[in-house]
Chain A
Amino acid sequence: MEERRPSPETMLERATVEAEGERRGKLKIFFGMAPGVGKTYALLQDAQAKKRAGVDVVLGWIETHGRRETEALTHGLERLAARRVDYRGLELVEFDLDAALRRRPALVLLDELAHTNAAGSRHARRWQDAEELLAAGIDVYTTLNVQHVESLNDVVASITGVVVRETVPDSIVDRAHEIELVDLPPDELLQRLEQGKVYLPAEAERARASFFRKGNLIALRELALRRTAERVDAQALEWRRAQGLAEPWSARERVLVAVGPAPSSADVIRSAYRLATRLRAPWLAVSVETPAFGRLSEEERERVAANLALAQRLGAETLVVRGERASEELLVLARARDVTKLLIGKPGPARWPWQRLRGLVPELVRRSGPIDVLVTSGEQGREELLRAPRRYRRHRAADYGWAFLSVLVCTAVGAASRSFLSLADLAMLYLLGVLIVASRLPRRPSLFAAVASVAALDFFFVSPAFTFAVSDLRYLLTFAVMLAVALLVSTFTVRLREQAEAARERERRTAALFALSRRFVVETGVAEIASVAMGHVRDLLGTDVAVLLADRAGNLTPCGGASAALVADEHELAVARWAFQHGRLAGHGTDTLPASRSLFIPLVGTGGHLGVFAVALAGRPEPPTPAQWQVLETFVAQTALALERALLVEQAARARVDVETERTRSALLSAVSHDVRTPLATITGAAGALLDEADLDPGTRRELAGTIREEAERLARLVADLLDLTRLESGDLVARTELCPLEEVVDSAVQRAHAVLAGHPLERLRPEEVLCAEIDPLLLEQVLVNLLENAARYSPPGTAIEMRLADEAGELRIEVADRGPGLAPGEEARVFERFYRAPDNQRAGGTGLGLTVSQAIVRAHRGRLTAENRAGGGALFRVALPRPAPIPIHSEEEERA
C-alpha cells in the first residue's frame, strides 16, 4: 500500500488525543462477561506486579466479597480509608475521592466502575470519580461487566431479561488506555457458581436462575469478546492513522438518528451508536420540534431531553430543529450534513388503513433519495413527537364546557329567530360557533363542537323536531356537508393558531438572541457583558443567576454586579469550582452533585475556561423546557465568547503597556549603564591616581579632584533626572498645583542654577503686572532649572542667557533663550526624546533626560514645552501655560480695612 501523508485535520486530531493522553492518567479496565469471572483477582494480580516494579499503588476501593484468595492479594497494598456517609440513618462506606486526590499516588485501584455512589457524594457515579482521577493525571485500574456498558445495555437486557440500571458511558470504555478481557468459559463459571465462589449483587441474585443460563453466558461472552475486539479494532485504526495509511474505506459514512419522547427511543439511539461505531462514522441525534411539540406533557419533554443527553453521552452531535413537518426537516438536515444512513424507530401498528401511506416513515422512505432509511424496533406507536401527536396535553373539562356552551348559544339564537331563518342560515350560524371555538380552544373541543353542532341542528331544527330522526333524506346530505365543513374549519383554524403561536415563540427566542448579541457588540467591558448576559437569562428563566469569573489563581468571584448569594455557601462554591475546573455542567439536575441548589454551566472560551454561569433552579415549580435549555445554552456560549473577547482586549491593553514599559526600561538601562559607567570610571581613575601617586604637583592634584567633583555632580544630576522620570511615569509624581506668581518660580530657579550660570550674564524681562498660574512650584522650578542649565551648557561662555515672562497669545509664557549654536533642522522635536543629546556635545555633561522630564512636567500642567531657533542665532525654549482666572488683589485701602 502506498503511504499517504495524513491530512492536517487527522494530524490535529491525533495531536489532541496525544496531548490529552500526556496530561491524563491512564485507565485500564478489566472487562468481563458476568460477575464471578475473576476480574478483581486479575486486577489485584496486575497491581501487585506494578507494586513490585516500584509503582506507587493505592487501593482506593476493592470489593473482595470475603473471598480468601482475593483478600490475600490485597496484602501489602496501601489502603485508602473509606469515606463514611450517613444515608437515612444507614452508614454507607464509599470511595474517598478527595483523599485520593490529596494522596496523589501514581495508580489507584477502583473496583466496580459502574457503581452508584451514595447520595451526597460529589459524583452520582463511580465512573465520574475515575474520570476526575484521570483528569488529575492519576492512573486507574478498574473492573467492568459487559452488561454495564451503556450501548449494550438493551441487548443484555433482551438476552438475560435482567435490566441493569447502572450503566457506564461508552466514551469511558473507548477512551480507556487498555482493556483486559477476563475470560472464563461458561461451563467453568457455572461450576464456580455452584461451588458458591461467585458473589452476586442483590439484583442479580433475584434473577440468578434466568441470568446464569448457559445460553445467556455464551451470548454475554460473545458480546464481551466483540466489544473488546471493536476496541482493538479502533486502536488498530488509530495506529493506521498515525502511520498515515489510507483509511480502509473511501466514502465517509454519517448516521442520523431521530429522537422522540418515547422510552424506547433510547434503544433506537443505542442502535444508532452501535451502527455508527461499526461504521466508524460520526453521528447526529436530532429532535424535531413541530408545532405540536408544545402539547407534549412535561414528562415527555423531559424524556426528549434525557434521550438527547443519552445520545450526547454516547458521542453523538445533538441538534434540535424546528419545523412544520418532521420528515422534511430531517431530510433537509440529512442532505446538508451528508448523512448516509437515517435511523428511526419503527412506528406501531396503523390504526387506520390510510395511515400506512401517510406518517413519518412512509414519507421519509418516499423522499429520502440516496439516503438509507433504517427503521428499527423500539419506538412502538411512538412517532408522535416527530409528527403531530394526537393526544392533547390537557383534556380540560372546561374546554369542553366552553364548546358545549357555544353550541347552546347557537341553538338559543337559532330558536329565537327560527321564524325568519332558513335551515341553511342555521347551519351557517352553527359554523360560526365552531369557528369561534376553534380559534380559542384546542383541537378536540373544537371537533366536539363541530359534531355537537350537527347533532343540535338535527335534534332541534330538522323535522321531526326534538328527535334525531330525519324525515327527508336530503337532510342527510346537508348534515354530511356541514360536518365536513365544520371539521375542516376547526382543523385549519386550530393549525393556523398553532403555527402562529410557534412562530411567535420562535420570533421571541430569535429576538432575545439577537438582542443579546447586539448588546454584546456594544458592550466592551467584562463587567458590562456579564451584567447584560445575566439580565437576559433572568428574563428568560425568571430566576436568580450569577456570572462568576476566575482570576489567574482560579478563584471564582461574582462579576458585573452578580449577587453572591448563589455561591454564598461553601458547598455551592465547591460545585461551581468543580464545573469550572472540569468544563462540565454540574449541580442541580446533572449527574454531578445534583443536590446543589443551582446549576453551574462552565463558560468555555476558545482558549480555556473563563468561569461559571450559575442558575438557581432548586425550588422552581417546573424545570426549564428543552427550548429554554437551548436558548440558555446559546446564551451562555455567546456570553463566554463575548467575555473572552473582552478579556482578550483587556489583556492586550495590559500587554501593550507592559511592552511599552519593558521597552522604556531596557532603553533606559542601556543608556544609564553607559552614562553611569563613564563618570564612575573617571572618578575611580582620578581617585586612584590621587591615592597612588604621592608626588603629584598641587596643580595636577587640584585638577584630578576637580574632575572627580564634576563627574560626581554629573552622576547626581543623572540620578535626580532618572528619579523624576520614573516617578512621573509611574504616576507617583502628581502635580499639586496652586496659584503662584511665575516670577517667584523663576527667582527660585535662578537661585538654584546660579552655579551653572556663572559666566553667563542673565537678562530677565517681565511685564509690569504679576503673572500667576496654576502650577506646582517645585516641579516647574525643576523645569526652569533644566532649561537654564541646558542653555548654559550649550552656549559659549560669556554669552548672555535671556529669560522672559510674557502674557501672549492667550497663554502665559516663560522663555529661556541662548546664543549658542541653535538647533539643527529637525531637532526641534527630537531634543525632547529620551537620551537625545546634540551630536557634537556628548561631553557637555547633560544626561539627555532633562528635557524629557521637563516636557512631561509641563504637560502635567496642561501646558506645552517647545523649542525653536531664535532670530540672530541660538535656541529658544518656551514653556506655555494656560492662563488662570484672575485673582483680585485688595487695594491698600481694603487692606487697612
Chain B
Amino acid sequence: MSTGSVAGALVLIVEDEPQLRRFLAAGLPRHGLRVLEAATGAEALRLAEQYVPDVVLLDLGLPDMEGREVARALRRWSALPILVLSARGQEREKVELLDAGADDYLTKPFGFDELLARIRAALRRVARAATNSGAGVFESGPLRIDLGARRVSVEGREVHLTPIEYSLLAVLAAQAGRIVTKKQLLTAVWGPHNTRESNYLRVYMTHLRRKLEPASGARLFRTEAGVGYGLELP
C-alpha cells in the first residue's frame, strides 16, 4: 500500500470513545501519519489552533458540544479537511455537519482501508487546491472541464451539457473530493433563496451522470442518497 502522498501528515482524532480512539491512534502512525487525540470538542479546538493539523477526524455525538459547532469553529479560520465519523441513524446530523463545512463522512463501522482512502483523498484535494487555484482546466480521470470555454469532454469526446448541468458540474468540480450537500448545490446554482428547484436537482444530476459516466462503468460521481453528491478525485 502506498503511503507516499500522506506521509508525515498530522491527523487530529476527535473521538470520545477511548477504544476507538486508541485503535485509530495505534493504526494511523503505521501508515506514516502523525496523530493528535482529543476526547472533547473544546480540547479539539484548542489542539487544532495550537498544532494546525492537516486533517480532522470528527466524531458525531461528543459529550460537550455538537459536532456542527466544532466544524463551524474550525471553518472560521481554516479550510482544513474535516472527516465526520458517524453511525447509522445520525443522517440528519451528518447533513447538518456537511452543510456546516465538513468535507466528507464515514459511517461506522468502517474498514481501516476505507478510512485511509478518505484521508488520502482529502489531503489530495487540499494539495490540488493549493497548486491549481485559478487554473482554467479541471481534470479527473476521463473527465476534462475547460472552465474558460465551458467545455466538457469525457475520454476526449466532447459532451453537450445544458446550462444548469454545467453549473452543477462546475460546483462539484470546484470542490472535488468533498461531499456537496443538496442545499449547498441549490444555493450555488439557483441562489440562496430559491428552493423551488429542489425537486429537480436530482433529476438534473441524473441527466448529468448519464451524459458523463460512460457505459464502461468508470465512476466519476459519488452519490450519497439523501445527503449529497461528490466528484471523485483520481
Residues of A within 8 A of B (CB): 712-713, 716, 720, 723-724, 727, 738-741, 743-745, 747-749, 751, 770, 772, 776-778, 780-781, 887, 889-890, 892, 895-896
Contacts and interface: CB of A to CB of B under 8 A. Distances in A.
Contacts of B88: 720, 723-724
Given A741-B203, A895-B163, A896-B163, A781 B225 contact: yes
B152 to A, nearest CB: 15
14 contacts: A727-B89, A739-B199, A740-B202, A744-B223, A748-B223, A751-B222, A751-B223, A770-B203, A770-B206, A770-B207, A777-B225, A778-B91, A887-B199, A887-B200
A282 B116 CA distance: 93
B64 interface: no
Interface string B138-176: 000000000000000000000000111000000000000
A101 to B, nearest CB: 50
Given A889-B200, A895-B162, 14 more contacts: A727-B89, A740-B202, A744-B202, A744-B205, A747-B209, A747-B221, A748-B224, A751-B222, A770-B206, A781-B225, A781-B226, A889-B203, A892-B162, A896-B163
A205 B177 CA distance: 109
B206 A778 contact: no
B202 A741 contact: yes
Nearest to A715: B109
Contacts, number: 60
A723 B88 CA distance: 9
Contacts of B207: 770
Contact of B206 (A720, A741, A776): A741
Interface in B177-234: 198-200, 202-203, 205-207, 209, 219, 221-226
B200 A745 contact: no
A751 B230 CA distance: 13
Contacts of A747: 209, 221, 223
Contacts of A724: 88
Contacts of B89: 723, 727
Give the interface residue-count category, chain B. Answer: 20 to 34
A724 B89 CA distance: 9
B164 A895 contact: yes
A744 B225 contact: yes
Given A720-B88, A778-B225, A712 B109 contact: yes
Contacts of B198: 738
Contact of B199 (A738, A748, A776, A896): A738
Q: Which 3 A-B pairs have the closest CB atoms?
A: A777-B225, A748-B225, A777-B226
B203 A716 contact: no
A724 B202 CA distance: 26
A895 B189 CA distance: 12
Contacts of B163: 892, 895-896
Contacts of A744: 202, 205-206, 223, 225
Nearest to B204: A889
Contacts of A741: 202-203, 205-206
B202 A739 contact: yes
Contacts of B109: 712-713, 716
A639 B31 CA distance: 78
Contacts of B224: 748
B157 to A, nearest CB: 19
A889 B203 CA distance: 8
A740 B206 CA distance: 10
Contacts of A740: 202
Contacts of A887: 199-200, 203
B135 to A, nearest CB: 27
B2 to A, nearest CB: 21
A727 B89 CA distance: 10
A751 B88 CA distance: 16
Nearest to B107: A752
Contacts of A716: 109
B170 to A, nearest CB: 15
A749 B222 CA distance: 11
Contacts of A720: 88
A618 B147 CA distance: 89
Contacts of A889: 200, 203
A472 to B, nearest CB: 114
B225 A745 contact: yes
B162 A749 contact: no
